[in-house]
Structure formats: structure tokens, C-alpha cells
Amino acid sequence: MTVAGVAAMGVGAGALLMTDNDASAGQSAEQRAAVQETLTIKCPDISIRLTRVPRQAQSTVDDELARMDSQVATAYQRLASRGSGASDEWVKSRVLEPLSTQRRSAIIRITATIDRVASRPQGLTSLASCTVKRDSTAPANADTNAGNTDPNAGNGGATPTPGGATPAAGGQQPPQQQSGPQKADFVDIRQVRPNVSKPAQKADASQGTFTSRCGRNENKHFNPDNVIVAPGVSNGAHHMHDYVGNLATDAFSSDQELAGAGTTCTNGDRSTHYWPVLRLRDGSNEKDVNADGGGKDGNVGRILQPASVKLTFRGSPVTKVTAMPKFLRIITGDAKSFTNGTANANASWSCTGFENRQLKDKYPLCPSGSNVVRTFNFQSCWDGKNTDSANHRAHVAFAQADGSCPQGFRAVPQLVQRITYKVQPGSTFAVDSFPEQLHKPVTDHGDFINVMSSRLMAKAVRCINNGSKCG
């Protein structure tokens, strides 16, 4: 069988870079590096279907969903370990079939757990199988613009290594399964038309702001956990997170521990803010090159510390806001939007001086003197009852086009996380991601747990509703 035959089988394991030997015959090393075949795993996201999970079953369901992510990551590594030498029969027997069996077993355990306390969910077993998306693409660090002195062309002349991998520090070679970003993932911000519009402000709306100053993660608080989606699971995110605010946040943090922890915020706000790290793909690596969340999950390169982090709570353009409940959890964006589709994607990439131009599925190439900007505009409508929901989305919502909340929701302060980075023009960078998401910019996302004291939250609401600028 050929690689195309593997694609037809529906390989379910991750993403593998291969050079098309037929197409590359007689080509230079640079030309061969510029054409790579990427096999991308597309596994149905079970969590999207689980909109109602009884509280008694939630912990078990979260554990099983996290286990399914690990199964995909492990299968992805197994596939990549063989590289272009993997026969189609080996892929089928050693990757595809075991992965499908593991996913089916996990789904059976999920449905049985829910069935013990509520109505059994239907149709989940049909989501056990994965498919593969096959592309031939040029890596972002392929020098396909020889002689081009434009710093926004390619990556400024970085030299690719075989398979698109970047060499590790100390002579170690990171795992070969990493892929992306691709040249097509970048665009010159100056070529993007302004595309930001805001709803009209009503006179009796809430036009103030409240800002928490929580630093730039100077204390290097990193881990690949996700306490919202995969509580109690180490490496639940399979990519590294940057944290500011609460100092205790990891996969095992309880609400009580978060409430009693220290914070980097100058106003005493113990809220948790985190997002995937951004890495410079210049051949250098962090100490996590052979660790979970780092090189073992395809995330390589030097972690960039933000040049600035601004955490602002804003009001509603049409009404007053009410207080957020303590321990409210909000995720904005979708870490799996490359394979899930963009229904829940909410990435916003731009450059300082050009922030009326926002990109959803491209990384910005910024001119000299301009910094890369990531902006996370969180949901600003709450259902008035729940601090979380089974899929971690249903309890909050975005405002409608006119700024009002959907029926059954009330306006709360809208969190905006704005993070900037100094990146030299032409440099290749990428956001950390799940292995099969290939570091695509559309997968960018932000996370928040409100741990403000009731007194501080009341102050924030008062400032916002009175039109003041506080913090």
C-alpha cells in the first residue's frame, strides 16, 4: 500500500512529517525540505457531545477524556518513531487498530458511568474511529526564498533540518513527530485590512474598566496541566502553559487551595490566568525538550517571555454588569480547533500599531518596531447558576452582535487578556499545542478561574458600572 492507502484507512495517531521521495528525486536539500507530507490525525472530540454530565459522574468522565488525549499523543509518537519507514500494514496494526480499541473502551466506560446516575448518552461509540488528513506543505523554516532580502518572506533564512525538526540544546535531537508551523500559517499584518468593529454604546451601559496587574510570569510558572478540563491529570494539556496570578495552579489545585494561595497580582487578586506558551522556532530549545508538554509532545523551541501582560475587565455596551461568582471557570477558544473545526475558535493575533486588524487562523508577521499581540476576549454572559459545565462552555456565552446577552444569561465583567511579545521580523514562532493540532494559530486559547474576593469583585463591578477606570 502507498501513503495514500494509509490515508484511506483513516490513521488515527497524530501528525507525521514525511518527505515525498518520488516528488523530491533530483531536488536540492532546500527544495526537498520545502515539500513535506503531513499526516494529521482527526479524532472526533467526545467532550463536545457531553453537554450534560451529572455531577456524580463528572470526575470519571474528565479522567476518561484526558486518557483519550493521551492515547492520541502516544499513538502519534509511535507513528512518528517509524517515520517514512513505517509500512501501511504496520500503521494499521500497531497504530490505527489499537487506538480505535482504546477509544472505544474509554467511551464505553464513560457511557456506563453516566448510565448509573442518569440517562445513558447515545451514539458515542460511533466517535471512536479517527481519520487522517493528508497534506503536502512547505514548513515555515524552509528557505524557499533564496536571495529574497524581505524580512517578511519565509523566516528570514533560517536553515531547516531534516523533517522540519529543530536541533535540541546540548546536541540532543528532539522527537521527530513535531510538525508546523507552515509558511502558509503566516501573513504580513500590513496586507490585512482593518476588520474590527464594536457595537454602539448605550448611555446607561457599563463603560468603565478594572485592571489587575499580575506581571509577565517572571517567576516562570509553567506546567502542561489543565485544571479546568483535566483536573487531577498530569500533562492533561500535552502543551506548556504560561501562568500569572495564582501561584498554586496545577492539575491538582482545589478551590480551597487556590483561595489560600499567593498571587503575583498587586491588588491581591488570586485569580488564575493561563494560556499556551509561545516559542521561537530558531533551533534552540528549553529544558523541556525531552519532557511531557515539551519535546515529547512535539513542542520545541525557546519559550518567549511576554513583553507585557494586561488583564482588563470591561463592561457591556448595552447594560450594567453583575458580579462573577467565585471560582467561575471560563475557557475561550478551542485548543483542538484545527481538527474540531472553528465553531469554538476565538484566536485573535495582531501586531502593536495594527490592532484594528485581527487574525484568527494566521500568525502575524510584524514590521520592525512592532510586537506580536495575542488577545483573548472572554465570554461575558453567565447563566446565573453554574461556575462550570460538563463541556466547560455551556454555562457562559458570548454577547450577541448588538452587545446583549442571549436569553437566560446575564452580563458579567468581560475579561480581556492581552499579551505581547518582542519577535524579530522574519522569525518563525509558534504556539504550543496538542500534537495533532500542528501548532496552528487557530488553536490559540485562554483560561481563567475567578478567585477574586467578594470585596474586590464588588469594587470591579462598581468601577465598571460607574464608568471609572480602576487598577
392-431: per-residue pLDDT in tens? Answer: 999 999 999 999 999 999 999 999 999 999 999 989 999 9
Cis peptide before 181 (omega within 30 of 0): yes
Count of CB atoms within 10 A of residue 309's CB? 23
Q: How many CA atoms lie within 13 A of 225 on its CB side?
A: 18
Report residue 198's pLDDT band, with 50, 70 and 90 as the boundaries. confident
Q: Is residue 171 over pLDDT 60?
A: no
Q: Is residue 172 over pLDDT 50?
A: no
- Give the pLDDT score at 88: 73
- Give the pLDDT score at 252: 97
- Give the pLDDT score at 83: 61
Q: Is residue 456 over pLDDT 50?
A: yes
Mean pLDDT calculated for residue range 118-129: 91
Mean pLDDT calculated for residue range 435-445: 95
Q: Report the share of the chain in percent with pLDDT over 70.
A: 80
More confident position, 205 or 84: 205
Report residue 142's pLDDT band, with 50, 70 and 90 as the boundaries. low
- Give the pLDDT score at 150: 39
pTM score over 0.85: no
Lowest mean pLDDT among 158-162, 232-236, 263-267, 419-423: 158-162
- pLDDT, tens only, 282-308: 888 899 999 999 999 999 999 999 999
- Give the pLDDT score at 455: 97
Mean pLDDT calculated for residue range 427-437: 94
- Give the pLDDT score at 208: 97
The x, y and z cell numbers of residue 77, run together, are: 509518537
Lowest mean pLDDT among 97-101, 162-166, 322-326: 162-166
The type of residue at 244 is: V
Least Cα distance to 102 among 131, 72, 77 occurs for: 72
Question: Is the Cβ–Cβ distance between 306 and 421 less than 8 Å?
Answer: yes
The x, y and z cell numbers of residue 458, run together, are: 464588588
More confident position, 8 or 255: 255
Residues constituting the chain:
471
What is the Cα–Cα distance from 345 to 332, expressed in whole angstroms? 8
Q: How many CA atoms lie within 13 A of 200 on its CB side?
A: 2
Maximum mean pLDDT: which of 30-34, 195-199, 340-344, 350-354: 350-354
Beta pairing partners, 212: 311
Mean pLDDT calculated for residue range 232-236: 95
- Give the pLDDT score at 364: 98
- Give the pLDDT score at 109: 95
- Give the pLDDT score at 350: 98
Mean pLDDT calculated for residue range 117-136: 83
What is the Cα–Cα distance from 354 to 345, expressed in whole angstroms? 21
More confident position, 453 or 55: 453
Q: Is residue 27 over pLDDT 50?
A: no
Beta strand 186-188 with 363-365 is parallel
- pLDDT, tens only, 350-403: 999 999 999 999 999 999 999 999 999 999 999 999 999 999 999 999 999 999
- pLDDT, tens only, 337-348: 998 999 999 999
Least Cα distance to 283 among 296, 301, 295, 299 occurs for: 301
- pLDDT, tens only, 40-54: 678 888 988 888 899
Q: Residue 421 contacts by C-beta under 8 Å, 6 or more apart in sequence?
A: 278, 304, 306, 307, 371, 372, 374, 429
